[in-house]
């Protein structure tokens, strides 16, 4: 029962993690304009993985997608790739996990096959979570580096107006989603141990051939023969005859007795 609960909970947690990765990838607020020095502004800018947006004080928002791929930074493209790989692996893991659930019976599928599928889906969830966490962390590192560079330029008077960007809500969603996918994958791997079938134990089978009873066992075994008690009795009888013969020999007088 505990194995089934662990497997179902792992599936639900991983599903939330994969859904969160998809939401974080589609969100536009990966980086938002820092309003520390200018809390009142007519224009508010924020950027995502696929487009940049500008929101005016009147409430009008205009978004413009990135029309270039080669013109984007290499780290930016790496973040895109990591998030996409995480989503693909998460979806494949969900499909495999659905068929691996112990509460669902499909044909004559054995428990060993379900255990292997559960382990496979768990590994996929773990890799998907690591991809999401890595992608979000790389983007956050880029923001921190650009923020301090912009701050240093502003204080040195090199630029009068400098837009600085800070963490957006999509980063936090991505971190939480990656953590959920990672935890769900670990739970699936733990549930795999409970699904593995125990070692089969075979009872002893007796075969009767030419008057002998021989028992075959999987572990240490004894070979019993039907002639054992007879040989013991024969040996006993032989010993008795030998003893009687010795007693008889001792009863006859020898030549030295007549002298």
CA 166 to chain centre: 34
Question: Mean of the per-residue pLDDT values for the chain?
Answer: 76
Per DSSP, the residues of 204-241 read PEEEEETTEEEEE-SSS-----TTHHHHHHHHHHHHHH
Percentage above 90 pLDDT, the chain: 32
Question: How confident is the model over 105-122, as a mean pLDDT?
Answer: 82
- pLDDT, residue 17, reads 94
Structural Rg of the chain based on CA atoms: 40
β-partners of residue 33 are 165
Indicate the pLDDT class of residue 217, thresholds 50, 70 and 90. Answer: low
pLDDT for the residue 204: 44
Tally the C-alpha atoms within 13 A of residue 9's C-alpha that lie toward its C-beta: 12
Please tell me the predicted confidence (pLDDT) of residue 235: 47
Closest CA to 11 of 194, 131, 184, 191: 184
Cα 82 to Cα 101: distance, rounded to the nearest angstrom: 28
Distance of alpha carbon 92 from alpha carbon 58, whole angstroms? 44
The pLDDT, as a whole number, for residue 205 is 47
How many other C-beta atoms can be found within 10 angstroms of the C-beta atom of residue 166?
16
Least confident of 26-40, 47-61, 128-142, 219-233: 219-233
CA–CA separation, 105 and 207 (whole Å): 39
Query: Does the pTM exceed 0.85?
Result: no
Compute the average pLDDT of residues 135-155. Answer: 80
Q: Give residue 155's pLDDT band: very low, low, confident or very high (50, 70, 90).
A: low
The alpha carbon dihedral of 162, 163, 166, 171 has a sign of: negative
1-30+70-197 CATH choice from 1.10.240.10, 1.20.140.150, 3.40.980.10, 2.40.50.180: 1.20.140.150
Q: Give the domain ranges of the chain.
A: 1-30+70-197
Q: When comparing pLDDT for 169 and 102, which is higher?
A: 169
pLDDT at 111 over 50: yes
What is the phi/psi pair of residue 167, to 5°? -65, 135
**Which of residues 102 and 257 earns the better pLDDT score?**
102
Per-residue pLDDT band at 13 (split at 50, 70, 90)? very high
pLDDT tens, position by position, 26-37: 998 899 888 776
Three-state DSSP class for residue 252: coil
Of 259 and 155, which is predicted with more confidence? 155
Whether the per-residue pLDDT at 85 is higher than 80: the answer is yes
Position with higher pLDDT, 107 vs 250: 107
* pLDDT the model gives residue 150: 66
């Amino acid at each position: 029962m505990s194995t089934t609960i662990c497997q179902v909970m792992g599936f639900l947690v991983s599903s939330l993690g994969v859904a969160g990765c998809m939401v974080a990838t589609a969100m536009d607020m990966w980086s938002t304009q820092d309003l520390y020095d200018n809390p009142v502004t007519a224009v508010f800018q924020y950027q995502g993985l696929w487009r940049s947006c500008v929101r005016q004080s009147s409430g009008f928002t205009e978004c413009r997608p990135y029309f270039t791929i080669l013109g984007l930074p290499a780290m930016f493209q790496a973040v895109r790739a990591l998030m996409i790989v995480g989503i693909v692996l998460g979806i494949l893991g969900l499909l495999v996990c659905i068929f691996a659930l112990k509460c669902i019976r499909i044909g004559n599928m054995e428990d060993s096959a379900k255990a292997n599928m559960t382990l496979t889906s768990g590994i996929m969830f773990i890799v998907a979570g690591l991809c999401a966490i890595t992608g979000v962390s790389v983007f956050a590192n880029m923001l921190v580096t650009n923020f301090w560079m912009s701050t240093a330029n502003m204080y040195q008077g090199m630029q009068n107006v400098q837009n600085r960007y800070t963490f957006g809500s999509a980063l936090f969603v991505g971190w939480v989603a990656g953590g959920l996918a990672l935890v769900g994958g670990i739970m699936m791997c733990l549930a795999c141990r409970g699904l593995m079938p125990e070692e089969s134990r075979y009872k002893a089978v007796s075969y009767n051939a030419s008057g002998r009873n021989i028992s075959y066992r999987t572990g240490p075994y004894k070979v019993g023969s039907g002639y054992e008690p007879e040989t013991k009795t024969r040996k006993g009888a032989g010993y008795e005859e030998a003893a009687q013969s010795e007693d008889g020999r001792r009863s006859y007088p020898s030549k030295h007795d007549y002298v």
